[in-house]
């Protein structure tokens, strides 16, 4: 599964490089369930050659009852909740 993800990301990076007049992808941000995999940052660096950071959706938020163990899976819900609808 990760192999196909890496292949698709490489295609996307190559496309971006070809249309951005010399620009390149220098950093990747990961959230969601993928961010919970041990070693994912070093795996992305090894496979894609880019620095990878895990985004922590609860960073800077106060949560009654504590931050859940699977916090990274709440990124979209938190982002939607912070929107000024």
Neighbours of 31 (CB within 10 A): 20
Q: Residue 29 forms beta bridges with which residues?
A: 53
Kindly state whether residue 1 falls inside one of the protein's structural domains.
no
Instruction: Examine the pLDDT at 69 and tell me if it is beyond 90.
Output: no
The tens digit of pLDDT for each residue in 31-68 reads 888 998 999 999 999 999 999 999 888 888 888 988 88
Kindly state whether residue 4 falls inside one of the protein's structural domains.
no
What is the H or E stretch that residue 15 is in?
helix 2-19
What integer pLDDT is reported at residue 38 of this predicted model?
92
Query: What is the extent of the structural domain holding 39?
Result: 25-85
Kindly state whether residue 70 falls inside one of the protein's structural domains.
yes
Query: Using an 8 Å Cβ cutoff, are 36 and 50 in contact?
Result: no
Local confidence band at 70 (pLDDT 50, 70, 90 cut-offs): confident
Residue 45 backbone dihedrals phi, psi, to 5 degrees = -60, -45
Task: Tell me the pTM.
Answer: 0.74
Q: Residue 54 forms beta bridges with which residues?
A: 30
Average pLDDT over the chain, rounded to an integer: 91
């Amino acid at each position: 599964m990760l192999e196909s993800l890496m292949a698709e990301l490489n295609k996307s990076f190559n496309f971006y490089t070809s249309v951005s007049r010399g620009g390149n992808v220098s950093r990747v941000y990961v959230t969601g369930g993928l961010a919970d995999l041990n070693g994912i940052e070093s795996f992305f660096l090894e496979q894609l050659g880019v620095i990878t950071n895990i985004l922590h959706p609860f960073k800077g938020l106060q949560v009654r009852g504590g931050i859940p163990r699977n916090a990274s899976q709440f990124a979209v819900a938190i982002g939607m909740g912070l929107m000024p609808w």
